Chain A
């Protein structure tokens, strides 16, 4: 009897699978046209290059609208929150999506992921790194974002984890080892200033925008035990930015900025950090690891410092058991106002499919790849382990185990975190750490 049951179950399963397989059809939306918007970025270059493959596979035409960074984010906010319906797929990050998802301006993609007729059987969502999936998953309760839920608000497209990157030619010349703790980093800067007075020891973001706290500060602060928010019964109860751990971290961090950073630190952002490290004007940076990868690529003009950037985990608190690494995820989302959600979803799953992620990585553009299968593939291993990339691959594998989003999901994330970046400028400018953090925490508490 049991054998008969198993036999019929197997037949039933294969029938269902066959029906499901038969249901999914890449050509279902042939003849449709969608609009895809993104920031100017190598990640989107890879997609645009491969668009003819998608159009041949599905018969869906894609109008890729790529905008300069300085206009894109405001445009994105306005397009999505005003439900203009002009875009069917939009590139963005996790944090901006917290803000736009509360008003149902984004589509919860779980309805597509759980529908076998809409998702290719070989898509394998669980192949995407768990920390990336979890960062894109939350629920909306009332007008609030509540983490660890069931709603999937975007698909990770590529991502950055924070590494210590250093010029092996500069550190090697003076036999300096990459620092492991924040005080060690400060001491290393002091030494570098003595032996290489012409360069800045550390390229560091310092602008009064949250982008400057999500790299080095968030990663290092976590190893000190700092949290942005204290949770109680699944709800945000308080901020942790004026805790003892936070005061200790900020004292060490401010000392490090004063010793290590360029004098232009308050005005330095991503572009200045990339430029300083790649030009050799700076010896180290704690920032997104993929720019170290990109600048190690051999280019025919010889402009890249190919092979000269090495990688290490971010520095920690003194005596900390582990390092921590914050992540920034580029994801693609679907505005609720899109009238072509079916074709848009087809494009999204293609753009994050195993094949596209591997192809994009092998083009040297969609780095870091989001899928574990890509990291396990022989092709990618061979490519990413070429001598010019130094220890990029191994460091990624080491860091990725501890890489996750530092920030607590919340509507209005930017207001509190922008205030943190301004407070950082004030402390570096000489304002007492305790006083500044108390005022910062007070303003954040008022908004909870």
Chain B
């Protein structure tokens, strides 16, 4: 039998609280997974283990597949646009242009607003008849736009809101990365006759990419789980146009009281988040190795 020194035992004792906290987290997660294999309905007195029944129901349900497409579409488009705008704004902020100085502190404002407030604010502004957005469009002779009130435009409108809210997050991270670009390399390239575009494309962008991708990991996780902006604007409508997983699970759990089915949707969502995050982390490692 191996006897531990008192010092080692004391160290083990010190990490015990962390282990307990970790176990609590894992318990909640696995309890949620267990619920997805039951017919738990709020109010009903009995809970039965139903195996894969909830998953089979989802597999056969067209709304589940529609929701899958919407969730992936929302995440990919929103994160891509945010990354693109984030790079442009970060590049702008790294210059000494007058607007850059003004907007550098202001750009962070959307990030500090509670997402539900953001949703309610945009819902009011996007009212097709009395919203301020259509008023401004009207000044330029543009016909009123339906924004979140029409099937064909609702998802794009929510993506627009998400982009407005979270582009500053990308900007902040990428700007920090941009500050770390080796100035000597840039100067050497310029002396060798490289123009601004070549310098950006060949030197700055590769340096920025790890930062873009690390920000993307966080945003992919959050976008798959985005709930507040959807519930505060469209609630999944009109006519299922924005019923992403989080909304679908909420409707099943809290409106239809079917917690078993709701947790099954969230468990599928968890897999999507995991796959999305792992792919992005792999890309991050490749980008980082290139820079190294």
Contact = CB atoms under 8 A, between A and B. Distances in A.
B240 A411 contact: no
Contacts of A263: 128-129, 144, 146, 149
Contacts of A426: 239-240
A208 B236 contact: yes
B239 A267 contact: no
Interface stretch (A54-62, A345-353, A414-422): A414-422
B257 A412 contact: yes
Given A208-B237, A263-B129, A418 B43 contact: no
A77 interface: yes
Interface residues of B, number: 31
B43 A100 contact: yes
Contacts of B59: none
Interface stretch (A101-109, A377-385, A389-397): A101-109
B198 interface: no
Given A77-B257, A418-B256, A99 B237 contact: no
B256 A209 contact: no
B149 A104 contact: no
B247 to A, nearest CB: 10
B202 interface: no
Contacts of B235: 207-209, 267
B237 A103 contact: no
A143 interface: yes
Interface in B233-292: 233-240, 251, 254-258
Q: Is the interface of B mostly helix, strand, loop or mixed?
A: loop
B45 interface: yes
B64 interface: no
A77 B233 contact: no
B47 to A, nearest CB: 11
Contacts of A262: 128-129
A373 to B, nearest CB: 35
Interface of B: 41-46, 123, 127-130, 144, 146, 148-151, 233-240, 251, 254-258
Given A281-B130, A412-B257, A425 B238 contact: yes
B147 to A, nearest CB: 9
Given A74-B254, A209-B255, A418-B251, A266 B237 contact: yes
B149 A266 contact: yes
A81 interface: yes
A148 to B, nearest CB: 21
Interface string A235-268: 0000000000000000000000000001111110
A429 interface: yes
Given A267-B234, A429-B150, 18 more contacts: A81-B43, A99-B257, A100-B42, A103-B44, A143-B46, A208-B237, A209-B255, A262-B128, A263-B128, A263-B149, A266-B237, A267-B149, A267-B237, A411-B44, A412-B256, A429-B151, A429-B239, A431-B239
A200 interface: yes
Given A77-B42, A264-B127, A414 B256 contact: yes
Interface string A275-290: 0000001000000000
A412 B43 CA distance: 10
Nearest to B62: A439
28 contacts: A77-B42, A77-B254, A77-B257, A78-B42, A81-B43, A99-B257, A100-B43, A101-B43, A102-B45, A207-B237, A208-B236, A208-B237, A262-B129, A263-B129, A266-B149, A267-B123, A267-B234, A267-B238, A281-B130, A411-B43, A412-B41, A414-B255, A415-B257, A415-B258, A418-B255, A418-B256, A422-B240, A431-B239
Contacts of A99: 42-43, 257
A331 B236 CA distance: 29
B238 A208 contact: yes
A103 B45 CA distance: 5
Nearest to A143: B44
A422 B237 contact: yes
A415 B42 CA distance: 13
A285 B257 CA distance: 31
B45 A267 contact: no
A143 B237 contact: no
B255 A264 contact: no
Contacts of B258: 415
B45 A422 contact: no
A264 B123 CA distance: 10
A178 to B, nearest CB: 23
Nearest to B131: A264
A103 B40 CA distance: 12
B132 to A, nearest CB: 14
B268 to A, nearest CB: 20
Contact of B128 (A78, A209, A264, A418): A264
Interface string A406-448: 0000011011001000100110010100000000000000000
